[in-house]
Structures are given as C-alpha cells and as structure tokens.
Structure 1
Amino acid sequence: MPIAIINIIEGRSEEKKQALLSNVSKAIADSLDAPLESVRVLIQEYPDTQWAAGGQTIAERRKQSPR
C-alpha cells in the first residue's frame, strides 16, 4: 500500500486540495502499477508562521514581497 504525505502551507481551497489528492493518487497508481484503491495520500497543512525558508518564515517573506 503506497502512502504519500504532502506538506503544504495553509490557505488553499478544498477544491484545490481535492484535485491534489486525486492527481497524486492517480500518478502513484500509474507509476507503480498499483491499484488506485491501495494508494493513500495525506495532506498536512502548516501555518505560514511555522514554515521557514532561508531562515525566514513564509509569513515574513510574504510581508516583504506581497503577491
């Protein structure tokens, strides 16, 4: 039973997360020639204050260069 754990920052819509779950599940099943029903995908979400890159939290980076 293949299991994938995906870590993302909070804030994406339920529709986006559902699409991610579906697409990753299909990709794993196809890549491993495994039954789709055997694939498990988990999403773990983190606040942008608890995720850092280059020593800065994502929240800090977003303040410096807003989208």
Structure 2
Amino acid sequence: MPYVKIEVIEGISREQKAGLVADVTRSLVDRLGKRPEQVFVVIQEVSADDWGYAGALISERTTPRREDASAAVPSQ
C-alpha cells in the first residue's frame, strides 16, 4: 500500500493536482504492479512564507521586495 506525499508551493490548480495523482498512481501501477486502489497520494500545499532554501524564504525569492520593485521602475 504505497503512500506518496507531494509538497508544493501553494497555488496549483485542481486540474494540476488531479494530473499529479493520476500520473503517480499510474507510475506505481506500472513499475510496482500495485492496484490503483492500493495507491494513496497526498498533495500538501505550503505557503511560500513557510518554505525556504539557501537561507531565504521562497516568497522573498519570487516576489521583488518593495525597495527592489521601486528601483526597477525607470525614472522619468
């Protein structure tokens, strides 16, 4: 009875989640010979404020900080 947990940054669609569940299930059926009803897939969405790497939060890496955003606007 395989249990697969997938953690992603929040914001993926229901259709994307359904595709992940179908793909992972199919892979375990094909590769391990499991029956689909034996496969459990859990998708957990995590806030970009609750996930980090290389010393910084994901939210700081994907969203320009206020001072960076104002510097990117050309002066007139």
So what's the TM-score if we normalise by structure 1? 0.88
Unaligned runs of 5+ in 1: none
Distance 2:20 2:46 in 1: 16
1:24 pairs with 2:18: no
Alignment length (residue pairs): 64
| Residue ranges of structure 2 left out of the alignment (5+ in a row) | 65-76
Indicate the structure (1 or 2) with the bigger Cα radius of gyration.
2
CA distance in 2 between counterparts of 1:34 and 1:17 reads: 21
Q: Normalising by structure 2, report the TM-score.
A: 0.79
Q: Which has the higher helix share?
A: 2
> Match for 1:39: what amino acid?
V
Q: Percent identity?
A: 38
Structure 1's consecutive aligned runs of 4 or more residues displaced over 4 angstroms after TM superposition are none
